[in-house]
Structure 1
Amino acid sequence: MASTASSQHYRALVDIGSNGIRFSISDLSPPTARIMPTVYQNRCGISLYDAQNAAGTKAPIPSSVIEEVVAVLLRFKNTCQDFEVQDNNIRLVATEATRNAINREDLLGQIDERTGWKVDLLTKEEEGRLGAMGIASSIGHIDGICMDMGGGSVQMTWVVKKPNGDVDMSPVGSVSFPYGAAALMSTLSEVNVQKKEAFLLDEIASKFQRGLEDIKIPPGLRDEALRKGGYTLYLSGGGFRGRGYILMSKEGIQPYPIPIINCYSVDAPRFFSNLEESPEGASAFRVSSRRASQVPAVLLVIKSLARAEIPISKVVFTQGGVREGLLYSGLPLSIRAQNPLIASTLPHAPKSAASLTSLLRDAVPDMIETEVLTSTINLLYVHGSMPKDIRAAAALRSTTTGVLAGAHGLSHQDRGMIALILCERWGADFSEADIPLYNSLQILTGRLTWWTKYVGRVAEGIANLFPAGVVRDDEQTIVVESGLSSSNKSIQQCWLKVSVLRQDLVGSVMEWAEDLRKLGKKKHWDKQGSGMKVEVEVRT
């Protein structure tokens, strides 16, 4: 049961889509509102699109299906009461399948009469705008083209998120195409698939080309795309995400260490490759039998996108959709502007987090982003209450199944770096069962792997010097400087100068310095030779 203090920040949403109905309750209380933590979510597989098109021609939604919809809504109403969600914080929205239903008034009327809830019927433009806002919520930085694939339609727009949290998008909101996964599968089943697909390829490609013109991409975004070799394409919706999971299952890193689709990215050539695979080859983690059956429709849309010759350099899969867009739209700009990595770690920050972060930043040359260093300090003591045997292993899994697993908006590289840094902070002492994950995370972070070890060992030293996470304002402890330089053989090295101002810390600092020097030996560099010598000078 939620406390009254927390439940006042709960937001319950029902998204009545074409392929299913999604229910969720999210906690928008500070300081983690930016990542919109989910305290409850569920999905009912009632397909309103299938209900209207089962006979091959458009028909009203059967009364039996309306009964099912009302029943699951009444059940969710009880759930909202159990979580003590305030009535004015519950919202229901419906999209394509409801919007186009012959008897939509009957459906909406029965929901209103029997549950007391009114459903907001989104227009195509509203659906596209909220979908784009959901994508914007999913990533720290976004500037490119967005496409959202539902059961009945595909939406397209452009989005640029500003540093202040404001989100710019197409003045038309979005353009909508009737090429959702369920809708296309219905079309493909009507006639000879190969003949119909050949015709549809040209039709859909032409519509996508026209859509790109209609959304009126601003000159600045267009020029930046030309400079980078193409737009970044952000994808949302179950059909597209299914494609992402299939690509993830075929990554060069196996097993792929981050089983989270949000922020998973591939370059355009890989995204557009192997588009002739059969539905039977679509078996992958998180790809349901229904999604697998819709693979031909998803691939047809992707083939059409390739034929449209829209310049695309990178594709990013996101978890954001209408639900996330509704939540994110209601947040103040100041919260939207927050970095999701920092927001997700703030609840765990030690008392002197600012001072400790400054110390860590001074000890790390300008190689690692400040947000990663800040989050490292915030999580510095999280696993300290665990048995010593499992601290490093728990830290290694902290971003995939641990404390940050549900954080919305974290890139895969940030998840990999934080996991490796925290693992190193606890001595990287884990069992053989954790070696595959450790190795795959190192591949994911690439040239930054050695630096995760360095940051982790620096963080371990800081934690040993300040075991309570407290730096007293009225006394001096240590002062740190760091940088990069080249030796007489032109090999770059990292140098660290530590001035110890409190006598009882000298012994611990000396041990810390020796540990960092050992890390600089070549045997601790990665297989690609990434690493460098570490020189540490301790002044007392």
Structure 2
Amino acid sequence: MKRPRKRASSVAVIDIGSNSVRLVVCAAIERSLISIFNEKTLCGLGREVQSTGLLAPDAVGKALTSLRRFRALCRVMKVGRVHAIATAACRDASNGPDFIAKAERICGVPVDILSGPMEAKLSALGVISGVHKPDGIVGDLGGGSLELIGVKGHRVRKGVTLPLGSLALQDTSHKSLKRAERIVRNELSGIAQLKAGRGRTFYAVGGTWRALARIHIIQSEYPLQVMHGYAIPAADALDFARRLRRLVAADMLANIEAVSEARRPLLAYAALVLEYIIRTARPKTVVFSTYGVREGLLYSMLPERERARDGLICAAQALNELLSRSARHAEELIGWTDRLVRVAKLRETDEDRRLRHAACLLSDIGWRVHPDHRGEQTLSLILNGNFGAVSHQGRVFVALAVFYRYAGLSEQNEPPAQLRDLLPPAMVERARVLGAAFRVAHLTSAARPGVLPATHFRSRGRKLMLVFEHRMVDLVADRVGSRFKQLARLVGRTGTIVRR
């Protein structure tokens, strides 16, 4: 008798940062992390470290109270393993060791005080885990420090730590933006890590930079609300950072609801640092990443073979196993569309291929929804899904392909134009073709495994044929034929069903 698969042990990371103290609980340490709980408290531990050398007493009290709650939550949730880390404020403050001793007694686990280089490395590993084939500079802006480190693919360069965290900068400048500007200019001049950034991507990590991105999304009326992977041309990001500084100076962002009240005073300092990084490094694009030190820590614990796996495909496989009628059918659909692409001689890059495979895995996740709403519901689920290793364009492509599978291809059922406008027309057309292929496959097989491998594609001139093996010929029907003809038309062919 086959033994049931052993349930993976959940894992928690308690992150004692210079501005926030956070608990993140994940279902397991795996390539595509599934967060089951996430809570933070803005304590401001590092707000006076530069001027007094001490963690502020009220911030310490607030942080310890949060840690008691976090430890209790871990007990309630029966978390298997707990890891605790601390960053700049705790390593720089003279009363940091005393605070850490109290934190360890509360948490019941050792607290690892990360060095600056280690914090930079873990930030880079976090970006590697959440961005497909990153190439550029990672900048992690916390409350107490800024880490800069180069990354390319799975390779990490040597990092540097600078005292330019938002709280630290506010403290050392005595809340003067003019003084802060001089400090930032002096600290960033001659930094080797920035010299390698020209024409590449700058990956912005950290809560205050994410707050900037949130404001930009709102002001630009961008159709997606997903923060991870949000990309802005560097020239636009530079203009926005300058404009935001002026708005903060004029107290015109005091009541913005998109950013917490405790974080609003730090926006100008975060914008200032981003501005000077762009001016110095001259990247092509700024991409905001919600994957950072915590994700990098868990990623570093994976075996090398697991780290090398595609994060998007892993996330799609997890959703497929959780939500589809048959996980095996979705895997067969990958092979079926592989054959379609090959026989129909459809042009496809490596990135096109991985997006198609992800869409195959997600093509049946909406089956429990009412038929009238499957298209819109799966569109929303994929667009807003909590997974990484995919750009916003890739996310929209996958979502559109599955939307067309459910909603059909008529003009009356098109998704919002603002969403389609995020993709080049050729990419939208590929999503339509893939959606049409899904409509043929799922109607033919009823999403059951074993059917698609018994159907084959042939091409003769401009004719594309779908061949059914003898044991499956009873599945042929007019609706199957009409859908296949529609698919063939979309790839510039005529379509025919053949019984073998």
What TM-score, normalized by structure 1, do the two folds share? 0.80
Q: Aligned with 2:13: secondary structure?
A: strand
Partner of 1:366: 347
Partner of 1:216: none
Separation (CA, whole Å) in 2 of partners of 1:302 and 1:289: 21
Give the C-alpha shift of residue 21 in structure 1: 0.2
Q: Aligned with 2:214: secondary structure?
A: helix
Structure 1 residue 414 corresponds to structure 2 residue 394: yes
| Equivalent runs, 1:454-469 vs 2, <5 Å | 454-469=433-448
Separation (CA, whole Å) in 1 of partners of 2:355 and 2:31: 17
Give the C-alpha shift of residue 304 in structure 1: 1.9
**Which one-letter code corresponds to 1:110 in the other structure?**
K
Give the C-alpha shift of residue 175 in structure 1: 0.6
Query: Is the alpha carbon distance of 1:281 and 1:497 closer, same or farther for their aligned partners in structure 2, counting shifts above 3 Å?
Result: farther
**Which one-letter code corresponds to 2:400 in the other structure?**
L
Partner of 1:452: 431
Give the C-alpha shift of residue 431 in structure 1: 13
**Which one-letter code corresponds to 1:423 in the other structure?**
F
Per-residue CA deviation, residues 90-138 of structure 1 (Å, 9 max, x unaligned), is 1111111111112112212222334433211111111111111111111
Partner of 1:443: 421
Structure 1 residue 168 corresponds to structure 2 residue 149: no
Give the C-alpha shift of residue 462 in structure 1: 0.3
Query: Is the alpha carbon distance of 1:291 and 1:320 closer, same or farther for their aligned partners in structure 2, counting shifts above 3 Å?
Result: same
Kept after mapping to 2: 8 A contact 1:262/1:409 = no
Separation (CA, whole Å) in 1 of partners of 2:189 and 2:57: 39
Separation (CA, whole Å) in 1 of partners of 2:187 and 2:458: 58
Separation (CA, whole Å) in 2 of partners of 1:116 and 1:4: 30
Partner of 1:24: 24
Give the C-alpha shift of residue 4 in structure 1: 11
Query: Is the alpha carbon distance of 1:109 and 1:202 closer, same or farther for their aligned partners in structure 2, counting shifts above 3 Å?
Result: closer
Structure 1 residue 80 corresponds to structure 2 residue 77: no
Partner of 1:320: 291
| Gap runs ≥5 in structure 2 | 322-326
Separation (CA, whole Å) in 1 of partners of 2:175 and 2:446: 69
| Equivalent runs, 1:265-280 vs 2, <5 Å | 265-274=231-240, 275-277=242-244, 278-279=247-248, 280=251
2:262 counterpart (264, 271, 290) = 290
Separation (CA, whole Å) in 1 of partners of 2:239 and 2:347: 37
**Which one-letter code corresponds to 2:172 in the other structure?**
T
Kept after mapping to 2: 8 A contact 1:249/1:284 = no
Q: Aligned with 1:23: secondary structure?
A: strand
Structure 1 residue 48 corresponds to structure 2 residue 45: yes
Give the C-alpha shift of residue 201 in structure 1: 5.2
**Which one-letter code corresponds to 2:406 in the other structure?**
W
Structure 1 residue 179 corresponds to structure 2 residue 164: yes
**Which one-letter code corresponds to 2:20 in the other structure?**
G
Runs of 4+ in structure 1 deviating by more than 6 angstroms, as ranges, are: 429-432
Give the C-alpha shift of residue 449 in structure 1: 0.7
Partner of 1:304: 276
Over the matched positions of the two proteins, sequence identity in percent amounts to 23
Give the C-alpha shift of residue 63 in structure 1: 4.6
Partner of 1:258: 224
What TM-score, normalized by structure 2, do the two folds share? 0.86
| Equivalent runs, 1:191-206 vs 2, <5 Å | 191=176, 193-194=177-178, 196-197=179-180, 199-200=182-183, 202-206=185-189
1:391 counterpart (374, 388, 392) = 374
1:332 counterpart (300, 303, 310) = 303
Separation (CA, whole Å) in 2 of partners of 1:462 and 1:168: 40
1:231 counterpart (173, 197, 200) = 200
Cα RMSD, aligned residues only? 3.0
Partner of 1:13: 13
Q: Aligned with 1:106: secondary structure?
A: helix
Partner of 1:538: 497
**Which one-letter code corresponds to 1:79 in the other structure?**
L
Separation (CA, whole Å) in 1 of partners of 2:333 and 2:5: 34
Partner of 1:139: 131
Per-residue CA deviation, residues 306-362 of structure 1 (Å, 9 max, x unaligned), is 442x24112211111211111111111222222122111213253234432121222
Partner of 2:324: none
Separation (CA, whole Å) in 1 of partners of 2:102 and 2:186: 39
Per-residue CA deviation, residues 231-276 of structure 1 (Å, 9 max, x unaligned), is 221111122222222332344xx3x232111111122211212413
Query: Is the alpha carbon distance of 1:513 and 1:312 closer, same or farther for their aligned partners in structure 2, counting shifts above 3 Å?
Result: same
Separation (CA, whole Å) in 2 of partners of 1:495 and 1:125: 60
**Which one-letter code corresponds to 2:230 in the other structure?**
Y
**Which one-letter code corresponds to 1:450 in the other structure?**
E
Per-residue CA deviation, residues 45-103 of structure 1 (Å, 9 max, x unaligned), is 111012657xxx415335554333222212111111122123xx211111111111121
Q: Aligned with 2:474: secondary structure?
A: helix
Kept after mapping to 2: 8 A contact 1:420/1:438 = no
Separation (CA, whole Å) in 2 of partners of 1:17 and 1:160: 27
Give the C-alpha shift of residue 495 in structure 1: 6.3
Give the C-alpha shift of residue 281 in structure 1: 5.2
